[in-house]
């Protein structure tokens, strides 16, 4: 009798863990599939074809066609691929920046900490979109403009998390005890601190993707990002605005929904990984 | 001999010292108890003797040498809150083996179960973690143990087990132990000498 009571939660936790791993795999599979699909698709769908203009979604054209007769499915998939690439690049730059500054602030303390926390406060208190537009515009737009703009505006939250984590670890009893067991600083950094920081960093990075993707789409939508010949999602949405009044709803709705779905999948992936990486939750 | 010579200490937030001109010495194999009301500086004394805090004036000496700030300390501190002194992301096996895996006999005498080794600290109870930290602290280079209220929150049976192991270590390995506790009866039972730390004058007296 007591046995069953003790064992029950363990089984549930195993099941939940398996489910979480499965969710992660599904998310990764989704991105790989999307990427391969984007790479495999030829350029035929991108060519103008005036015989098939403004067609609503049908079997031949599942996502419909635009006012130049281009296939919206091809454009959407290719657009999502571009978004993933730009999002990844921007999120990685941003996360590396966050990692360096966050850890430096906590490790050196004093003036370094004051300057870095000041920078964090300034960036956080400036309206996001204004900063994004200004930086992207100053960089001359294009891919580099978007990447730099997103990287420079998104590092703050992760930097704060990592700073707090290092500060907390610095005073942790088990770190002090480790020094008294004769362990070197490097050993402690590698064995005690890194295992705490790495999951935070990776999850922070993954949770940065959705922001990076949405903001790069937003910048392109506003005309400060990618140029119109790149079929990015932002461009698709921005072009579709001119067609909305003529009733061609699919041009805006379908790419928009696809973008939201992709962002949501990234979000799920990040949150599931967080659940898995913490022994406290992953064992419960 | 582990000794504090004329040790005075104050925390940065408060100008008034917690401990003033404290003298205490613990011989190898000796078990000294310190008793005192809350806030009298018992934990501060423990942290000073184990090198976690550095005295304002005075010295902490181990066998005639000043307590080193680096390297393996011969003095190990055991905490009232053992769960704070283990890394929550390490399994018990890794925690125990941080210095070197304790011998089988020690693990058996502390009743550390083999299947705990694959568990995380949050999957053990407070008493179980306390036994793990004791096994870790009793490494071969340890010569003094500072036990700061280590059995306060434990049940009677676990208390007995833990003190048996520590007393045995004092006897067989000649380890000196400073026992800090609120519990008179415990101190009278396990210690050779019991001292009282009084908050106001900050001095240590034979109780």
Q: Which residues of B touch A176 (CB under 8 A)?
A: 52
Distance from C-alpha of A124 to C-alpha of A148, rounded to nearest angstrom: 16
pLDDT tens, A118-169?
999 999 999 988 999 999 999 988 888 989 999 999 999 999 999 999 999 9
Q: Is the dihedral of CA A177, A180, A186, A190 positive or negative?
A: negative
The predicted structure's pLDDT at residue B205: 73
Distance from C-alpha of B193 to C-alpha of B197, rounded to nearest angstrom: 13
The predicted structure's pLDDT at residue A12: 58
**Chain-centre distance for alpha carbon A152:** 14
Q: Which residues of B touch A283 (CB under 8 A)?
A: 120, 122-123
Q: Reply yes or no on whether the pLDDT at A257 is more than 50.
A: yes
Contact state of B52 with A279 under an 8 Å Cβ cutoff: no
Distance from C-alpha of B21 to C-alpha of B9, rounded to nearest angstrom: 9
The predicted structure's pLDDT at residue A283: 65
Contact state of A283 with B123 under an 8 Å Cβ cutoff: yes
The predicted structure's pLDDT at residue B199: 63
Q: For B77, which residue in chain A has the nearest alpha carbon?
A: A177
pLDDT tens, B38-64?
888 888 999 999 988 999 998 999 988
The predicted structure's pLDDT at residue A7: 47
Distance from C-alpha of A131 to C-alpha of A155, rounded to nearest angstrom: 13
The predicted structure's pLDDT at residue B200: 57
Mean pLDDT of A20-48: 86
**Minimal CA–CA distance to B190: which of B136, B134, B151?**
B151
Q: By the CB < 8 Å criterion, does B84 face chain A?
A: yes
For residue A1, what pLDDT band results from cuts at 50, 70 and 90? very low
Strand-pair category, B57-62 with B2-9: antiparallel
Q: By the CB < 8 Å criterion, does B85 face chain A?
A: yes
Distance from C-alpha of A155 to C-alpha of A11, rounded to nearest angstrom: 39
The predicted structure's pLDDT at residue B156: 87
Distance from C-alpha of B46 to C-alpha of A281, rounded to nearest angstrom: 34
The predicted structure's pLDDT at residue A121: 95
Distance from C-alpha of A88 to C-alpha of A110, rounded to nearest angstrom: 33
How does DSSP assign B136-203, residue by residue? Answer: HHT-TT--EEEEESTTTTS-HHHHHHHHHHHHHHHHHH--EEEEEES-HHHHHHH-SEEEEE-TTT--
Mean pLDDT of A103-132: 92
Per-residue pLDDT tens listing for chain B (207 residues):
898 888 889 898 888 888 888 889 999 989 999 988 888 888 899 999 998 899 999 899 998 888 888 888 999 999 888 989 999 989 999 999 998 888 888 898 888 988 899 999 998 988 899 999 999 999 888 999 999 989 888 888 888 889 999 998 888 999 999 999 988 888 998 898 898 887 655 577 776
The predicted structure's pLDDT at residue A214: 87
CATH topology of domain B2-84+137-206: Rossmann fold (3.40.50)
Mean pLDDT of A197-209: 89
The predicted structure's pLDDT at residue B68: 86
Distance from C-alpha of A165 to C-alpha of A167, rounded to nearest angstrom: 5
Torsion of CA A185, A190, A194, A196, to 10 degrees: -80
Cβ-in-10-Å burial (0-12, 13-18, 19+) of A252 comes to: middle
For residue A224, what pLDDT band results from cuts at 50, 70 and 90? confident
Q: Reply yes or no on whether the pLDDT at A46 is more than 90.
A: no
CB atoms within 10 A of CB B39: 10
**Minimal CA–CA distance to A269: which of A31, A94, A18?**
A31
Tell me the percentage of chain B whose pLDDT exceeds 90.
30
Q: Which residues of A touch B50 (CB under 8 A)?
A: 180
ipTM of this complex prediction, to 2 decimal places: 0.85
The predicted structure's pLDDT at residue A187: 92
- Sequence ranges of the domains in chain B: 2-84+137-206
In Å, how far is A174's CA from the nearest CA of chain B?
A: 4
**Three-state secondary-structure class, residue B22:** strand
In Å, how far is A97's CA from the nearest CA of chain B?
A: 25
Residue B197, CB half-sphere, CA atoms under 13 Å: how many? 28
The predicted structure's pLDDT at residue B94: 92
The DSSP letter of residue B66 is: E
What is the residue-averaged pLDDT of chain A? 86
Contact state of A177 with B120 under an 8 Å Cβ cutoff: no
pLDDT: is B203 or A91 the higher one?
A91
Tell me the percentage of chain A whose pLDDT exceeds 70.
95
Q: By the CB < 8 Å criterion, does B64 face chain A?
A: no
Q: For A281, which residue in chain B has the nearest alpha carbon?
A: B122
Tell me the percentage of chain A whose pLDDT exceeds 90.
30
Range B42-67 burial, b when 16+ CB lie within 10 A, else e: bbbbbbbbbbbbebeebebebeeeeb
The predicted structure's pLDDT at residue A5: 45
Q: By the CB < 8 Å criterion, does B130 face chain A?
A: no
Contact state of B89 with A195 under an 8 Å Cβ cutoff: yes
The predicted structure's pLDDT at residue B180: 92
**Minimal CA–CA distance to B146: which of B177, B109, B102?**
B177
Measure CB to CB from residue B76 to each of A174, A180, A283 and give the nearest one.
A180
CB atoms within 10 A of CB B163: 19
The predicted structure's pLDDT at residue A2: 43
3-state secondary structure chain A: CHHHHHHHHHHHHHHHHHHHHHHHHHHHHHHHHHHHHHHHCCCHHHCCCHHHCCCCCCCCCCCCECCCCCEHHHHHHHHHHHHHHHHHHHHHHHHHHHHHHHHHHHHHCHHHHHHHHHHHHHHHHCCHHHHHHHHHHHCCCHHHHHHHHHHHHHCHHHHHHHHHHHHHHHCCHHHHHHHHECCCHHHHHHHHHHHHHHHHHHHHHHHHHHHHHHHHHHHHHHCCCCCCCCCCHHHHHHHHHHHHCCCCCHHHHHHHHHHHHHHHHHHHHHHHHHHHHCHHHHCC
Q: Which residues of B touch A178 (CB under 8 A)?
A: 98
Q: Which residues of B touch A279 (CB under 8 A)?
A: 88-89, 120, 122
Q: By the CB < 8 Å criterion, does B82 face chain A?
A: no
Distance from C-alpha of A134 to C-alpha of A148, rounded to nearest angstrom: 11
Q: By the CB < 8 Å criterion, does B87 face chain A?
A: yes
CB atoms within 10 A of CB B162: 22
Measure CB to CB from residue B52 to each of A176, A182, A192 and give the nearest one.
A176
The predicted structure's pLDDT at residue A6: 46
Q: Look at chain A and count its residues.
A: 284
**Chain-centre distance for alpha carbon A166:** 23
């Amino acid at each position: 009798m007591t046995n069953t009571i003790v064992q029950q939660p363990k089984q549930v936790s195993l099941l939940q863990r398996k489910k979480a791993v499965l969710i992660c795999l599904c998310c990764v599979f989704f991105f790989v599939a999307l990427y391969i699909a984007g790479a495999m698709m030829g350029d035929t769908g991108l060519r103008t074809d005036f015989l098939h203009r403004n067609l609503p979604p049908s079997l031949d054209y599942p996502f419909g066609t635009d006012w130049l007769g281009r296939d919206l499915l091809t454009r959407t998939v290719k657009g999502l691929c571009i978004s993933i690439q730009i999002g990844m690049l921007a999120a990685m730059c941003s996360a590396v920046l966050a990692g360096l500054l966050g850890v430096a602030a906590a490790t050196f303390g004093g003036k370094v900490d004051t300057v870095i926390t000041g920078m964090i406060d300034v960036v956080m208190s400036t309206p996001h979109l204004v900063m994004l537009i200004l930086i992207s515009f100053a960089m001359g737009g294009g891919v580099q403009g978007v990447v730099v703009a997103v990287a420079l505006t998104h590092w703050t939250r992760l930097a704060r998390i990592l700073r707090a984590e290092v500060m907390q670890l610095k005073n942790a009893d088990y770190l002090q005890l480790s020094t008294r067991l004769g362990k070197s600083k490097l050993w402690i950094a590698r064995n005690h601190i890194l295992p705490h920081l790495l999951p935070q960093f990776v999850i922070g990075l993954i949770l940065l993707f959705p922001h990076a993707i949405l903001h790069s789409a937003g910048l392109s939508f506003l005309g400060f990002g990618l140029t119109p010949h790149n079929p990015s999602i932002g461009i698709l949405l921005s072009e579709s605005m001119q067609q909305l009044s003529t009733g061609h709803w699919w041009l805006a709705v379908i790419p928009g929904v696809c973008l939201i779905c992709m962002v949501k999948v990234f979000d799920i992936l990040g949150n599931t990984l967080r659940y898995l990486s913490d022994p406290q939750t992953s064992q419960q | 001999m582990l000794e504090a010579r004329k040790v005075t200490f104050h925390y940065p937030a408060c100008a008034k010292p917690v401990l003033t001109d404290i003298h205490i010495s613990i011989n190898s194999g000796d078990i000294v108890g310190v008793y005192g009301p809350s806030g009298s500086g018992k934990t501060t004394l423990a942290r000073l003797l184990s090198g976690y805090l550095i005295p304002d004036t005075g010295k902490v000496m181990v066998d005639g040498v000043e307590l080193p700030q680096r390297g393996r300390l011969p003095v190990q501190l055991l905490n009232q809150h053992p769960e704070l002194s283990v890394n929550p992301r390490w399994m018990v096996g890794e925690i125990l083996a941080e210095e070197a895996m304790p011998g089988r006999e020690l693990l058996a005498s502390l009743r550390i179960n083999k299947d705990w080794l694959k568990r995380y600290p949050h999957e053990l109870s407070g008493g179980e973690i306390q036994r793990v930290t004791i096994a870790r602290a009793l490494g071969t280079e340890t010569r003094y143990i500072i036990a700061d209220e280590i059995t306060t929150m434990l049940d009677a049976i676990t208390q007995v087990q833990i003190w048996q192991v520590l007393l045995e270590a004092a006897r067989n390995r000649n380890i000196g132990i400073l026992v800090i506790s609120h519990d008179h009866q415990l101190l009278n039972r396990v210690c050779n000498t019991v001292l009282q730390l009084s908050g106001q004058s900050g001095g240590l007296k034979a109780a």
